[in-house]
A and B are shown apart, each in its own frame.
Chain A
Amino acid sequence: MFANLSVRLKRFGLRLLTRPRLDLPLLLALFLLACAGLATLYSAGNANLSLVGGQAARFVLGAVLLVVISRIPPPVLRSWTPWLYMGSTALLVVVAALGEGRGAYRWLDLGFMRFQPSELLKLTMPMMVAWYLHPRQLPPGWKDIIVVGLMIAVPAALIAEQPDLGTALLVAAAGAFALFLSGMAWWRIGLLVGGAGAAIPVAWQFLHEYQRNRVRTLLDPESDPLGNGWHIIQSKIAVGSGGIFGKGWQHGTQSRLEFLPEHTTDFIFAVFSEEFGLIGVITIMLLYAFIIGRCLWIAMNARDTYSRLLAGAIGMSFFVYVAVNGGMVAGILPVVGVPMPLISYGGTSAVSLLVGFGVLMSIHANRKLHD
């Protein structure tokens, strides 16, 4: 039995090197990112090993799911897509029904675990858009754009209504990127973006008061230094005081002394910036840029439209995480609940991200062979 196992391991290793299912550069980048995340978490959590251990366990779970999903061929995924999309949207409706009159309600309690159905949409949304566009003639015309727009709008609106603006943004962006990659004409894009810009004053009316306050606070954090401005001010202090070289690992005073709120979750990147400085920030940003670029490279080599659009959309929506969280920590974007991928503490986000990369790996494994 052991002999059998070792033979299988040997074979697996050989295949990994010669014709790997998994994309090693992408895997390595994710691994480095996860390590940076755990190291920052150790410091931000004041050397709380159970915190780090828990997060590492989620990474392991995510890695297992990544490997499992990478074995599912894209056509199978594509055939499941409408059901997955409708199922996850239905769960959103359930959550909305359950959460009636209870303020922010995002969780579904399954008894053994709780999860946010909105997390599912981060993946099922680009899948659905890709599924829809797959058989169609590209670039898409207005009719397809409108259909896709509705596919995006319904779940996004449900999530925004929870209210969880950050996730709604991520979900909508994932769908929109798929549409963008499908070759939607630039003038159409310009028209839509211009229309959206004109709609901002209208949208403002539909925002919750706390969401509006976040935007107001962003514009002038010093107006309420102990209230809504506290997060932004303390985060900027953490980032700015880090300087070029940082204060050193475990020497960030802003987080250690708890001036920085949410310093293990949404604002963990402020801790990273404080301790590792601009050098660390640029290193991490290069790593993220590499991951995005690698995703797009995989997409370009994908076998069919569905795979291409899905892989590209997953890669590009990764950027939204980084830009929104990084911008929030640096005080140029409002405080929305978007984590820094693979660095922020929190299970659902880490697992769902790695599941997304599992899909990418599957696409990579089933890439078209070079002519």
Chain B
Amino acid sequence: MSRRRASIKEVRGEVALFRRRALAGFFLLLLGLIAVCSRYVYLQVFHHDEFVTRSEQNRVKPRSIPPARGLIYDRNGVLLADNVPAFRLEVTPEQVANMDDMLQKLSAVVPISDDDIVTFKKQVKLGRRFEGIPLKLKLTEDEIGRFAVNRWRFPGVDVVPYLTRRYPLGPSLAHVIGYVSRIDVDDLNNMDDDEEASYKGTTHIGRIGIERSYEKLLHGEPGYELVEVNADGRTQAVLDTTPPTPGKNIYLSIDVRLQKAALDAMAGRSGAAIAIDPRNGQVLAFASVPDFDPNLFVNGISSVDYKNLMTAPDKPLYNRALRGVYPPGSTVKPFLALGGLTMGIRRPSDTVLSTGEFCIPGQSRCYRDDVRGGNGTVNMVRAIELSTNTYFYRLALDMGIDRLAQWMGSLGFGSKTGIDLTGEVEGVLPSREWKAKHSKAGWYPGETIISGIGQGYWAVTPIQLAHAVATFAGHGVPYAPHLLMDTQDGVDAARVPQSFPPTGPSVIRKPQDWDTVNEGMIAVINSGAGTGKKLGIGFPFVIAGKSGTAERFSRKSDAYDNNKNTAYLANRHRALFIAYTPAEDPKIAVAVVLEAGAWGAADSGPIARKILDQWVVDSGGARPTALPPGPITLSDAPAEAAPVEDAPASAGSVQGAQPAAPSSAELPPDDNGEDQ
């Protein structure tokens, strides 16, 4: 204490003390600085490589470059599916701290639908956290602008350019091309790792139709680029690029002019019309009515649009040509006749007496002809021409259901035709096996009889019918119908034809068999008494064909139904028509099915004819003169339906009634109305 109170300090000692302290302090501080420096040595020398790697991992990210999807053309190079530039909103979840909060703030800038958010969140859950996941597709310019202003608020969110699909022809080929739509969680789950890698950066995948069947051709292979990113994940520079391989372009065998002619001729009536080149199985036209606009689906269909399509009574999304099943009715008769010849059960000259009723020997149950009193004595050609039921009842009975099923099966009935579209159905080919699977009852002879005229268990898709008629027209050589014609690597490359060899040898044993049936089908169109007797007028080639009218409902009573109102009948009937031309050397085969048509020949026949007319024009011929107005024929009644006499006197009263307008008995002009 006394030392501190001293008024005079001991200065010299204090200075020496300070010096020692300063030196000691400096020494300690130097040690401290050396300690800090040694930490830098540790980081910068001994762990340098590790941190270089981590710095590069920070900075350099691989990005996949999605390939441009292959374009789709018709056989003449008309563009059917196009890629157009668009912008989408993409989120890298890893860079978003609070996803819900971000989405809420973002939707104040760019409206985002609940559907988008649900899809997005599902994909986020899949764990692709370090990649951009599309949130909203096809931004409007306004949305892009508003986001650009607010971009800084949303790290991890980017506007990304991409190519979106456009179908310039809209609905007319919807059932052929189908559409692409956003890849969803199920798609990803169904992919193996390699596939998933090849879809990195791709937002769309073929959903149905050609887009789906040829997904592998159209998709291409993604490229990669190494990009330098900043901490927000925004690209600063591209360091290295491996370009993607674009998908192949596809040329379909479809001829859009023929397709349009088919659709025009259908005039909105539900059904299907298919044209096939019998020489190679190429599908020239493939119309399923009604149709829909595939463009709606590409960037996510709105729930209102989707509900409208799903609830529409005529089911526009339903591909009738591929999946609709109908009783073929009398259209099976030429095929059955060919079977009779091939099996040696019938000679062309064998005749049958048609009395208007055919009864199984020993049974009281009888089956009717179309015409009261029958067609009299008919041979095979005449039986096809007049569609004489009795002839085919007997033929079916003689053949037996087993041989019938086997023969018709060889023409493709009861199995998928193998067309290059997904979702095809098998239909029903009547057989013991089929019945055993679906019923406890055994096979009855009566069922064989009605199978002979395309009724009973029969269920045939339009593509099966077209396939069968094309197979016949092509002298029995079966080709799986196909839409793919050529592929192409890029627009400037040559088209590479795709070969689709026949699926088997010709089903025809002797050329004369074919000639006989061909003669019958020519007579249908060209004789004075044929069921399609006006369809050939003014056409430069010989058309061969066969009508079919099948009942939609089973008959309620045994009585003849004398109601001849076409609207009434259209409600009850399905109208079918098959045709090919030129008859001596067929180059096009057509099948038409109307879900609601009074008569096969009268309603579906003109549609087939219009397709053939267009085909003549497309092949370089002059447009054939149009059909004369008036009824074609009425003699092709549904098998068990009321017999109907030949064309009624009241000309012009039969055509094209719409099922929707049963009261319009006076009938508006239909597809034939264009000629005076």
Contact = CB atoms under 8 A, between A and B. Distances in A.
A299 B4 contact: no
Output the residue of A137, A226, A238 with the most chain B CB within 10 A: A137
B126 interface: no
B17 interface: yes
Contacts of B45: 243-244, 278
B18 A300 contact: yes
Contacts of B6: 137
B231 A289 contact: no
A40 interface: no
Contact of A254 (B4, B55, B229): B55
Interface in A166-199: 177, 180-183
A289 B33 contact: yes
Task: Tell which of B15, B39, B59 has the most Cβ of chain A within 10 Å.
Answer: B39
B58 interface: yes
Size range of the interface on A?
35 or more
A150 to B, nearest CB: 17
A182 B22 CA distance: 9
A299 B23 CA distance: 11
**Which one of B6, B44, B55 has the highest number of Cβ atoms from chain A below 10 Å of its Cβ?**
B44
Given A144-B4, A259-B231, A316-B29, A330 B55 contact: no
B50 interface: yes
Interface stretch (A1-9, A75-83, A280-288): A280-288
A254 B58 contact: yes
B42 to A, nearest CB: 8
B191 interface: no
Contacts of A281: 37, 40, 44
Given A183-B17, A239-B43, A253-B59, A296 B48 contact: no
B18 to A, nearest CB: 5
A327 B32 CA distance: 10
Interface in B1-42: 1, 3-6, 9-10, 14-15, 17-19, 21-23, 25-26, 29-30, 32-33, 35-37, 39-41
A220 to B, nearest CB: 17
Contacts of A278: 40-41, 44-45
A164 to B, nearest CB: 22
A244 B48 contact: yes
Given A177-B25, A299-B22, A258 B51 contact: no
B94 to A, nearest CB: 9
Of B6, B40, B58, the most chain A CB neighbours within 10 A belong to B40
A19 to B, nearest CB: 22
B36 A257 contact: no
Contacts of A141: 1, 4
Given A136-B4, A181-B18, A305-B14, A330 B26 contact: no
A318 B10 CA distance: 30
B228 interface: yes
Contacts of B496: none
A107 interface: no
A331 B44 CA distance: 13
Most buried by B among A238, A243, A256, A331: A243
B230 interface: yes
Contact of A240 (B9, B36, B37, B47): B47
Nearest to A333: B36
A240 B18 CA distance: 40
Contact of A330 (B1, B9, B25, B39): B39
Interface in A276-311: 277-278, 281-282, 285, 288-289, 292-293, 296, 299-300, 305, 308-309
A212 B10 CA distance: 47
A112 to B, nearest CB: 31
A332 B42 CA distance: 12
A237 B56 CA distance: 10
Nearest to B237: A257
Interface string A137-153: 11101011000000000
B514 to A, nearest CB: 76
Contacts of A234: 58
B236 interface: yes
B360 interface: no
B105 interface: no
B52 interface: yes
A257 B228 contact: yes
B20 to A, nearest CB: 8
A289 B4 CA distance: 35
A273 B40 contact: yes
A282 B44 CA distance: 12
Contacts of B25: 177, 180-181, 296, 312, 316
Interface in A246-282: 253-254, 256-259, 273, 277-278, 281-282
Contact of B39 (A183, A226, A253, A332): A332
A241 interface: yes
7 contacts: A181-B18, A236-B51, A240-B51, A241-B48, A273-B40, A288-B33, A296-B25
Given A183-B18, A293-B26, A331-B39, 6 more contacts: A137-B5, A138-B14, A226-B97, A238-B55, A253-B59, A254-B55
Give me the 10 closest cross-chain CB pairs, A-B, nearest first: A240-B51, A241-B55, A257-B230, A240-B43, A183-B17, A258-B231, A241-B51, A137-B4, A278-B44, A330-B39
